């Protein structure tokens, strides 16, 4: 067995882990190891082939809820989700964090740049967000980078008096190839791999990829449980990946401080299989997915849909009143073929209209239900995701679908359809030929499988709360039950962060990283 020793072990190299590795390495005097379950694939590997690029995703892009009904996409490679997402960048939402302070007792996370959280100079969520935005170049794209598909959403919204906005994106000089979700072959998307992780590696952080952590090492010391490292296995390097820094085989890493950044599926799974105390039965519970509903519009003319920036226009018009967004996105043929409904000639005719199809998605900010959860299946050694839409969320989704169909017609669609097999009203399936038919969406039942619902924003399975009955970690991201163990990723959000989570995760990681650097002694370092 390979044995390594370090000051800080960071498990997971996504939006959180990459930022933490860079931030902690700024102090320059700590040995830091960053481990990643997936491979280290860089721009020369990204060939824009949907099938080949499945290797960048958890379970080769086939991860789904336990009943198979909802795909749960997530990056599993160096950079994690930031390598395969479409760069949509929302700052942390002040109202959401203020709500967490009120309802979960969180401290710190000031939105005032002059604040000194925990008495530490320049420690505020505002400063952390600003620093993250600068490093990954968050900005709104110019007009000439808004493609037809996005213009149609903007136009449809405008026709109905619905507010539409320009996304901010973490890109630099995007050439508009349209393949963000297959990894950026041009290195223009500013994910953590080419920004924060590159900074960390330049400062001596050791990256170990293809490293599957089996369990955290927890020891009893003076009556307290203490994290002292982790044990796992380094798999053989996948073809196309960069070489690894250690040989394949069993690996044990001893560390003074362990920071878990595995995401809202893998982090609770690792805690549960490692025997992390769970006195209140809350680890893994209350999963948020941001269920999303694709809306397809069949136009009479060709449009630019798969070239250019996938998502540059969104609408938050209904966010405050109903908790959902319209977000413009488009897929390439392999993804589209699965989303387009039907079989045989019906399906092929839709595919023949690929270049005349507009699309955007409804993204629901779902509510917490303890029955929605991540479990660790000890027998089969895998994380299992249980999720069902709650009745109130279904009601909001019906309203959202109705409005979305109206917007697509207002954008000029000849027909609008939802990827669904549900008969609604007089319609055998949700395929609408007139705006007045949109009201039939009120009859959608969202039975599993019948209507396509997708997801990619897992959150809230290892919640943060000062009260140990409500959360697994405190406001410093420290486990309530295990010393020298931090959990810092989307799993610690007490509820949904209210939007696409990347920048919220990165800002939180930057914030906690700066705090740890100011408080090394708190961890005996």
Q: Which range in 229-237, 345-353, 432-440, 478-486 contacts another protein by CB under 8 A?
A: 345-353
* Of 158, 185, 304, 518, the one binding another protein by CB under 8 A: 185
> DSSP letter string over 348-361?
HHHHHTGGGEEEEE
Q: Which of 80, 60, 56, 79 is nearest to 71 (CA)?
A: 60
* Of 116, 198, 219, 449, the one binding another protein by CB under 8 A: 449
Q: Does 348 bind another protein (CB under 8 A)?
A: yes
**Distance of alpha carbon 381 from alpha carbon 269, whole angstroms:** 10
* Of 334, 427, 470, 518, the one binding another protein by CB under 8 A: 334
In this structure, are residues 7 and 525 in contact, taking their beta carbons and an 8 Å threshold?
yes
Query: Which residues, in sequence order, are CB contacts of 280 under 8 Å at separation 6+?
Result: 468, 469
Q: Which range in 120-128, 254-262, 442-450, 471-479 contacts another protein by CB under 8 A?
A: 442-450
Q: Does 352 bind another protein (CB under 8 A)?
A: yes
Q: Looking at residues 63 to 102 of the shown chain, list those that interact with another protein (rule: CB under 8 A).
A: 63-64, 66-69
Q: Closer CB to another protein, residue 165 or residue 307?
A: 307
- Map residues 18-57 to x or -, x wherever contact with another protein holds by CB under 8 A: -------------------------xx--xxxxx------
> DSSP letter string over 201-219?
HHTT-EEE-SEEEEEEEEE
In this structure, are residues 2 and 250 in contact, taking their beta carbons and an 8 Å threshold?
yes
* Of 344, 378, 426, 469, the one binding another protein by CB under 8 A: 344
Q: Does 347 bind another protein (CB under 8 A)?
A: yes
To the nearest 10°, report the CA torsion of 338, 341, 343, 345. -110
Q: Shortest distance, CB of residue 173 to another protein, whole angstroms?
A: 13
Backbone angles phi, psi at 327, to 5 degrees: -130, 125
In this structure, are residues 485 and 216 in contact, taking their beta carbons and an 8 Å threshold?
yes
Residue 518, Cβ density class (10 Å: 0-12 exposed, 13-18 middle, ≥19 buried):
middle
Q: Which range in 205-213, 284-292, 341-349, 474-482 contacts another protein by CB under 8 A?
A: 341-349
Q: Closer CB to another protein, residue 89 or residue 429?
A: 429
* Of 1, 379, 391, 434, the one binding another protein by CB under 8 A: 379
* Of 137, 337, 367, 402, the one binding another protein by CB under 8 A: 337
> DSSP letter string over 142-202?
PGGG--HHHHHHHHHHHHTT---EEPPEEBSS----S-GGG--TTS-B--GGGTHHHHHHH
Q: Which range in 32-40, 159-167, 312-320, 445-453 contacts another protein by CB under 8 A?
A: 445-453
Q: Does 307 bind another protein (CB under 8 A)?
A: yes
Q: Does 355 bind another protein (CB under 8 A)?
A: yes
* Of 62, 107, 163, 442, the one binding another protein by CB under 8 A: 62
Residue 119, Cβ density class (10 Å: 0-12 exposed, 13-18 middle, ≥19 buried):
exposed
Q: Tokens 């540059």 correspond to what residue?
A: 312
* Of 141, 178, 183, 498, the one binding another protein by CB under 8 A: 178
* Of 202, 338, 371, 436, the one binding another protein by CB under 8 A: 338
**Distance of alpha carbon 301 from alpha carbon 288, whole angstroms:** 38
Q: Looking at residues 380 to 409 of the shown chain, list those that interact with another protein (rule: CB under 8 A).
A: 380-382
**Distance of alpha carbon 327 from alpha carbon 168, whole angstroms:** 12
Cα→Cα distances 166→18, 284, 309, 314, 404, Å: 27, 35, 12, 6, 18
Q: Does 375 bind another protein (CB under 8 A)?
A: no
Q: Closer CB to another protein, residue 214 or residue 217?
A: 214
Q: Shortest distance, CB of residue 51 to another protein, whole angstroms?
A: 4
* Of 214, 427, 450, 517, the one binding another protein by CB under 8 A: 450
* Of 421, 468, 481, 518, the one binding another protein by CB under 8 A: 421
In this structure, are residues 88 and 311 in contact, taking their beta carbons and an 8 Å threshold?
yes
Q: Shortest distance, CB of residue 477 to another protein, whole angstroms?
A: 31
Q: Shortest distance, CB of residue 37 to another protein, whole angstroms?
A: 16
Q: Which range in 178-186, 267-275, 395-403, 471-479 contacts another protein by CB under 8 A?
A: 178-186
Q: Shortest distance, CB of residue 93 to another protein, whole angstroms?
A: 33
Query: β-strand 482-483 against 224-234: which pairing, if any?
Result: parallel
Q: Shortest distance, CB of residue 57 to another protein, whole angstroms?
A: 11
Backbone angles phi, psi at 475, to 5 degrees: -70, -20
Q: Using CB under 8 A, count the residues that bind another protein.
A: 47
Query: β-strand 206-208 against 357-364: which pairing, if any?
Result: unpaired
In this structure, are residues 39 and 209 in contact, taking their beta carbons and an 8 Å threshold?
yes
Q: Closer CB to another protein, residue 163 or residue 447?
A: 447
| Residues engaged in binding another protein (CB under 8 A) | 43-44, 47-51, 59, 62-64, 66-69, 177-179, 185-186, 302, 306-307, 332-334, 336-338, 343-345, 347-348, 351-352, 354-355, 379-382, 421, 447-450
């Amino acid at each position: 067995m390979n044995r390594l020793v370090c000051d800080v072990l960071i498990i997971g190299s996504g939006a959180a882990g990459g930022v933490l590795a860079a931030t902690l390495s700024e102090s320059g005097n700590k040995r830091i190891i960053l481990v990643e379950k997936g491979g280290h694939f860089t721009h020369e590997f990204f060939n824009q082939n949907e099938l080949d690029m499945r290797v960048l995703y958890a379970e080769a892009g086939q991860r789904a809820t336990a009943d198979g009904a909802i795909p749960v996409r997530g990056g599993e490679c160096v950079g994690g989700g930031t390598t395969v997402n479409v760069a949509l960048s929302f700052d942390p939402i002040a109202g959401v964090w203020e709500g967490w302070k009120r309802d979960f007792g969180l401290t710190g996370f000031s939105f005032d740049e002059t604040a000194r959280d925990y008495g530490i100079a320049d420690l505020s969520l505002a400063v952390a967000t600003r620093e993250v935005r600068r490093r990954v170049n968050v900005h709104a794209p110019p007009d000439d980078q808004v493609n037809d598909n996005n213009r149609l959403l903007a136009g449809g919204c405008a026709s109905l008096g619905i507010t539409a906005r320009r996304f901010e994106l973490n890109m630099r000089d995007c050439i508009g190839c349209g393949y963000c979700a297959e990894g950026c072959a041009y290195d223009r998307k500013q994910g953590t791999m080419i920004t924060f992780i590159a900074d960390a590696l330049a400062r001596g952080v050791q990256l170990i990829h293809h490293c599957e952590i089996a369990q955290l090492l927890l020891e009893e010391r003076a009556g307290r449980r203490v994290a002292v490292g982790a044990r796992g296995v380094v798999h053989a390097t996948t073809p196309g990946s960069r070489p690894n820094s250690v040989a394949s085989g069993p690996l044990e890493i001893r560390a003074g401080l362990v920071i878990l950044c595995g995401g809202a599926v893998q982090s609770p799974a690792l805690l549960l299989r490692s025997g992390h105390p769970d006195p209140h039965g809350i680890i893994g519970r209350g999963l948020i997915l941001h269920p999303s509903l694709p809306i397809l519009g069949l136009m009479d003319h060709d449009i630019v849909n798969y070239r250019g920036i996938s998502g540059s226009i969104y609408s938050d018009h209904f966010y405050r009143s109903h908790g959902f967004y319209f977000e413009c996105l488009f897929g390439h043929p392999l993804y589209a073929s699965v989303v387009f409904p039907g079989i045989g000639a019906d399906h092929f005719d839709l595919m023949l209209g690929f270049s005349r199809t507009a699309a955007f998605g409804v993204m629901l900010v779902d509510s917490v239900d303890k029955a929605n959860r991540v479990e660790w299946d000890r027998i089969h050694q895998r994380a299992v995701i249980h999720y069902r839409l709650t009745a109130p969320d279904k009601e909001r989704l019906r309203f959202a679908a109705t409005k979305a169909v109206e917007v697509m017609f207002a954008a000029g669609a000849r027909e609008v359809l939802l990827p669904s097999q549900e008969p609604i009203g007089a319609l055998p399936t949700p395929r609408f030929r007139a705006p007045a038919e949109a009201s039939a969406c009120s009859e959608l039942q969202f039975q599993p499988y019948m209507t396509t619902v997708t997801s990619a924003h897992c959150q809230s399975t290892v919640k943060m709360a000062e009260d140990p009955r409500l959360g697994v970690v405190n406001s410093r991201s420290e486990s309530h039950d295990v010393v020298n163990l931090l959990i810092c990723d989307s799993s610690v959000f007490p509820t949904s962060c209210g939007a696409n989570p990347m920048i919220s995760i990165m800002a939180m990681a930057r914030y906690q990283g700066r705090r740890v650097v100011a408080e090394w002694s708190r961890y005996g370092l």
